[in-house]
Copies of this chain bind each other. A is one copy, B any other.
């Protein structure tokens, strides 16, 4: 299903034989997204040749599909002048994303080559906070006056439409550039030619502010199935739009962020290769360090029960099973809740329903696993009382663990903290400690061991 693989051998041959004309013809029929894939597989010298036969518009399109580190590498092949003209050809949002990753000195040099208007626009966009609506928006939208007619609007769209990111949703603005309506190309096409825009536009416009988080933009576009969303400044002036294709990336990025958080990874950047080796290392070691420190508590508690342990060494055999069961059930229930909170399916309002249903679930699963654990310990040691101890402990830990896995994310959500970030390490630690205490307390009672 990887279309571009078909072309790669032919392409390499054309490069080898320095047949630039043939190369140019071949590349003309390949989608920029596929050329981006092909370029990734080429040797540096082959890349230089391939890029030479492409015009700046195509290169700009390809650039917007590459990762910034790849773009940076490719930019190195060009003279500053050509790099500038490629950057100017890119959509404003893609340009910002690239400039964002380049070294500051290079950005400054390139910006100085920009015409003054583009330089100022770029500087404004670069000043919005990272991951904000202002940072991912594009200025390539169609705006229409409210007083013009449908046929005038169509004329404007015909004239300016070719270099706009979307023409399918147009925005109506008044004299002060304030956003006052939205009108789809569909409405324009279906309307009578002499109708005025204000007659067919929808005055209820959903919008986000430049400083809003990109997640907020994603939420609105997802909820209302929009193709694009207008972005306004604090005075309701239209300054850009966010298109649905960028939101697809945001949704994926946000999911990745949650995956990382739940595995106790704190990364400045979601992409594996993009994060930078040292940053990635430090983002990983932080929580692990805390977790190792936290396991001191488990050690300390085991130390407290050392008499019990030494009088029945077999108690130690089941520590892994107990810790595993607690950790696994906790990660199950917390994942269910955290993900349902993230997708908006679950809201805090429903906490009572969720707690009750998970308490029951924990009890059922606990009973099954506890019984299993009982038989396993009988099989390992043939000691009925120890088996009962292990069985009851596993059942209890699982019930408690399931509830904790649900309650902690809900609590975090209640206090307006991100449930994903702190729950994995916290739940593990809590369950390890309570698991060991439950186990030894039950053992003390059932096996009559003193501690």
Interface residues, chain A, with chain B CB atoms under 8 Å away: 1, 29, 31, 33, 67, 154, 157-158, 161-162, 167-168, 185-186, 189-190, 204, 206, 216, 221-225, 227, 244-245, 247-249, 251-252, 255-256, 258-260, 262-265, 271-273, 277, 280-281, 284-285, 287-289, 291-293, 295-296, 298-300, 302-303, 306, 309-310, 313-314, 316-321, 323-325, 327-329, 331-332, 334-337, 339-340, 343, 345-346, 357, 361, 364-365, 368-369, 372-373, 376-377, 379-381, 394, 398, 425, 428, 432, 436
Contact (A256, B436) CB under 8 Å given A244-B248, A310-B310, A320-B298: no
Interchain CA distance A340-B280 in the complex, whole Å: 14
Please name the residue on chain B nearest to A337 by beta carbon: B272
Q: Is the CB of B335 within 8 A of A263?
A: yes
Contact (A29, B204) CB under 8 Å given A295-B320, A325-B292, A364-B281: yes
Apart from A277-B357, A302-B316, A328-B425, list 18 A-B contacts with CB within 8 A. Answer: A1-B216, A31-B206, A154-B189, A168-B168, A185-B189, A225-B245, A244-B248, A258-B259, A263-B332, A272-B339, A292-B325, A292-B372, A296-B380, A299-B318, A300-B380, A302-B319, A302-B320, A323-B324
Interchain CA distance A393-B22 in the complex, whole Å: 60
Interface of A is mostly: helix
Interchain CA distance A319-B345 in the complex, whole Å: 39
Contact (A265, B336) CB under 8 Å given A186-B161, A271-B345, A285-B365: yes
Q: Is the CB of A280 within 8 A of B317?
A: no
**For residue A227, which residues in chain B have a CB less than 8 angstroms away from its CB?**
168, 227, 244
Q: Is the CB of A323 within 8 A of B320?
A: yes
* Residue from A1, A157, A216, A256 whose CB has the most chain B CB atoms within 10 Å: A256
The count of identical subunits is 2
Q: Is the CB of A31 within 8 A of B343?
A: no
Q: Is the CB of A299 within 8 A of B317?
A: yes
* Residue from A223, A313, A318, A365 whose CB has the most chain B CB atoms within 10 Å: A313
Interchain CA distance A227-B436 in the complex, whole Å: 55
A248 to chain B, nearest CB (A): 5
Interchain CA distance A29-B204 in the complex, whole Å: 9
Interchain CA distance A32-B415 in the complex, whole Å: 31
Interchain CA distance A252-B340 in the complex, whole Å: 11
The residue from B247, B293, B320 contacting A299, defined by CB atoms under 8 A apart: B320
Interchain CA distance A293-B364 in the complex, whole Å: 18
**For residue A33, which residues in chain B have a CB less than 8 angstroms away from its CB?**
223-225
The residue from B204, B252, B280, B291 contacting A328, defined by CB atoms under 8 A apart: B291
Q: Is the CB of B204 within 8 A of A260?
A: no
* Residue from A206, A285, A345, A368 whose CB has the most chain B CB atoms within 10 Å: A285
A266 to chain B, nearest CB (A): 10
Interchain CA distance A379-B97 in the complex, whole Å: 49
Interchain CA distance A379-B297 in the complex, whole Å: 12
Contact (A376, B299) CB under 8 Å given A154-B189, A313-B306: yes
**For residue A398, which residues in chain B have a CB less than 8 angstroms away from its CB?**
288
Contact (A263, B372) CB under 8 Å given A186-B161, A227-B227, A251-B252: no
Q: Is the CB of B260 within 8 A of A339?
A: yes
A245 to chain B, nearest CB (A): 4
**For residue A189, which residues in chain B have a CB less than 8 angstroms away from its CB?**
154, 157-158, 161, 167, 185
Q: Is the CB of A346 within 8 A of B248?
A: no
Name 23 interchain pairs, CB-CB below 8 A, sorted by A: A158-B190, A222-B249, A222-B252, A263-B336, A271-B345, A272-B340, A272-B346, A273-B345, A277-B357, A277-B361, A284-B332, A284-B361, A288-B365, A288-B398, A289-B368, A289-B369, A291-B328, A295-B325, A295-B376, A298-B324, A299-B318, A300-B380, A320-B432
